[in-house]
Chain A
């Protein structure tokens, strides 16, 4: 349990995210709709030149297929560039530590992981990646994956918007979101992080003689610029293997709170963007109430468990409270950064982390969180329609049989992508290749494998294994799960949105989706769907660990 002051800290951080999110939303809407913004004088000429340079006509509009494949192709091309950089880093510049190129299965895993906003890491950055790779492979993909998430969400909203005739232009969305939202925010945040103590240099690791005369290497690098985008972009992949537990990535309580806040900022903003872009601000309500109510439930579950004391896997400057709080938030927005060892978190905290990754909309990752919430709304509208005997409608559009099939398939991608490879990892004995795995209690080991694939499919990226999972099986399996978990639901949900275009809308809705009653039913149906799907597996993992009386996952 937490005390009153800690509860106050939780409420204050969530409230700050909600307030600043609602204030930032109108600006993001202007960015996405092409309305004037304050940065226009500076960026309009640049933007025009960019379109000319890349040969994209900003005036053409796209259908869902065109939009989706533009996004997919751009992401794949970006993966290819980063892959070449990672494999070839040994001969590339800015490599003062002389790190060799990555093995190709690790490089593949890494670029798929980062281009999809997942940031699962089967390597420790400080011992594996050159400065050049940390910048031109890692930070590069962290920006583009976050941008892509916002873009596909914007396209989906346009499809659902009554009276809209197209999904927008992917290249225009990409350039505008990147230059008008993410880059300015990250420049600001990165400099604040440096001021607070996060290093930013390309001068090479520093060797010193300690007070007692021993030799010590300080692993400095371009860290602050990475921390800014990894949190703002809900990426989560750290500069260091220990992620934000490493002091250079997260030196003090102030940077810790700022990172928690930045993780929440954009996913929360995009909830408000939904209502504004749809043209019905009240329709933000079910998404807002739904995601934050589920987040509150996650939080209660996590804090019902014992809060770890400063000990193995917990950093002194954060303590057990901030470590548990961070774990809930990082999975709720599918960021995946950590400020403690996951093994140190109590089983209920890990159960809560699973809830975040399985629901994916509490409020979920950048852009995709809102998309998943729309998916849940369509499912709920259908179920409520069945129960009340009314035609299911959302935003005035009748929900037909094909729509329901699409959202069900989109929903089912997640359990299939998680559970099948989890079973395969055991069936093929691939788990035995992980050092120390066989000595773990069964429930602890199972939790860790299930977490690996849940985190991959949810494009979260936190994991128990880290570099220990740098085996061909886990590199390929998680890369495949990450790819499917990212692009298949996006394609299906864009197809759904595309089919909304030109559909007849009725002015008077038989079922109101903007009231408290609907939000309540929405939360209930999300919990029911997710719990029914995953309960047997959660039972064998974190819940069994909890009932066995364990307080952490060190085994």
Chain B
């Protein structure tokens, strides 16, 4: 009886603390963060969903899978040998974007110089103001639709 009691005394903290730590770290903590995030940052907390014409069309951070010649294309569709690590990289390099301008210009009739200016206006950099320039494909295409609604009937 006494050995049983002493064994319980040894194992009780182990069992109780493992359950308690699961409840605190595995439930209370992530649910607290979820609650505060949903209240304070609902846009980011739900995946930074981007709207077009009043409906969600994707996430700012996930490749939207453009394939039509009138749009800039992400890197994940064009060529499997250039695929990103995530497979959903939403960005392309500036040079990649510029190389697509002749195709888009051909398909839409928008002057290449205007497309060039649009791309440059939506540049981001890996080091904020310096580093390698890149563009977010969805952001760029939505800007394209907004700037040239007549070239994109049915989208705006």
Asked if residues A315 and B84 are in contact (CB atoms below 8 Å), the reply is yes
Q: Determine the chain A residues whose CB is within 8 A of the CB of B12 once the complex forms.
A: 54-55
Which of these, B9, B49, B64, B132, contacts A211 with CB under 8 Å? B64
The answer on a CB contact under 8 Å between A50 and B46 is no
A70: contacting residue among B14, B52, B59, B82, CB under 8 A = B14
Query: Chain B residues with Cβ under 8 A from A208's Cβ?
Result: 49, 55-58
Query: Within the complex, what minimum Cβ distance (angstroms) separates B42 from chain A?
Result: 9
A171: B residues at CB distance < 8 A: 13, 17
Nearest CB in chain B: distance from A334 CB, A: 21
Shortest CB distance A543–B (Å): 24
B17 pairs with A174, CB closer than 8 A? yes
Contact of B45 among A201, A228, A341 (CB under 8 A): A201
In the assembled complex, the Cα of A144 lies from the Cα of B14 at a distance in Å of 13
Residues of A within 8 A of B155 (CB): 211
Q: How far is the CB of A54 from chain B (nearest CB, A)?
A: 4
CB of B99 closer than 8 Å to a CB of A: no
Q: Which of A135, A175, A195, A199 contacts B47 (CB 8 A)?
A: A199
Q: Mark A78-112, 1 if CB is under 8 A from B, else 0.
A: 10111000000000000000000000000000000
Q: Is B18 within 8 A of A200, CB to CB?
A: no
A445 CB → nearest B CB, Å? 20
Task: Look across to chain A and name the residue whose beta carbon is closest to the beta carbon of B41.
Answer: A194
Task: Give the residues from 186 to 208 in chain A that come closer than 8 angstroms, CB to CB, to chain B.
Answer: 186-187, 190-191, 194-203, 206, 208
Would you call A319 an interface residue if the criterion is a C-beta within 8 Å of the partner chain's C-beta atoms?
A: yes
Q: Is A9's CB within 8 Å of the partner chain B?
A: yes
Check: A428 CB closer than 8 A to any chain B CB: no
Q: A222-B30, A225-B30 are in contact. Are A209 and B47 (CB under 8 A)?
A: no
- Minimum C-beta distance from A344 to chain B (A): 7
| Chain B residues within 8 Å of A210, by CB | 57-58, 64-66
The reply to whether the CB of A139 lies closer than 8 angstroms to some CB of chain B is yes
Q: Which residues of B contact A197 (CB under 8 A)?
A: 44, 48, 60-61
Q: Are B34 and A222 neighbours in the complex by a CB distance under 8 Å?
A: yes
How far apart sit A5 and B71, CA to CA, in the bound complex (Å)? Answer: 34
C-alpha spacing A201/B92, complex, angstroms: 28
User: Is the pair B45, A200 in contact by a Cβ cutoff of 8 Å?
Assistant: yes
Inter-chain CA distance A253–B61, complex, in Å, is 12
- Please measure, in the bound complex, the distance between the C-alpha atom of A198 and the C-alpha atom of B89, giving whole angstroms: 15
State A195–B14 Cα separation when bound (angstroms): 37
- What are the residues of chain A within 8 A of B142 when measuring CB–CB? 211
Chain B positions 62-102 with a Cβ under 8 Å from a chain A Cβ: 62, 64-68, 71, 75, 81-93
Q: Smallest distance from the beta carbon of B53 to chain A beta carbons, Å? A: 10
B149 to chain A, nearest CB (A): 14
Judge if A220 is at the interface, Cβ distance under 8 Å: yes
| Among B56, B64, B88, residue most surrounded by chain A Cβ atoms (within 10 Å) | B88
A216 near B127 (CB under 8 angstroms)? no
Q: How far is the CA of A344 from the CA of B134 in the complex (A)?
A: 19
Asked whether A315 and B86 contact (CB < 8 A) given A136-B27, A216-B64, A218-B49, the answer is yes
Cross-chain contact B33 with A225 (CB below 8 angstroms): yes
Inter-chain contact B89/A135, CB cutoff 8 Å = no
What chain B residues lie within 8 Å of A339 (beta carbons)?
85
Query: Which residues of B are at the interface with A, using a C-beta cutoff of 8 A?
Result: 9, 11-22, 24-27, 29-34, 36-38, 40-41, 44-49, 52, 55-62, 64-68, 71, 75, 81-93, 124-128, 130-132, 134, 138, 141-142, 145, 155
Closest 9 CB pairs of A and B: A140-B26, A136-B26, A245-B85, A54-B16, A143-B25, A316-B91, A77-B18, A247-B61, A200-B37
Which A residues have a C-beta under 8 Å from some C-beta of B? Answer: 5-6, 9, 50, 53-56, 70, 73-74, 77-78, 80-82, 135-137, 139-140, 142-144, 171, 174-175, 178, 183, 186-187, 190-191, 194-203, 206, 208-212, 214, 216, 218, 220, 222, 224-226, 228-229, 240, 242, 245-248, 251, 253, 310-319, 321-322, 338-341, 344
CB-defined A-B contacts under 8 Å, sample of 25: A55-B16, A70-B13, A70-B14, A144-B18, A178-B24, A191-B36, A194-B33, A194-B37, A196-B44, A199-B46, A201-B34, A206-B47, A206-B49, A211-B52, A211-B155, A212-B67, A222-B33, A225-B33, A240-B86, A312-B82, A314-B85, A317-B134, A319-B126, A321-B131, A339-B85
Contacts A70-B14, A140-B22, A316-B92 known; list 9 others, CB within 8 Å.
Answer: A55-B9, A78-B22, A210-B64, A216-B65, A247-B89, A311-B81, A316-B91, A317-B124, A319-B132
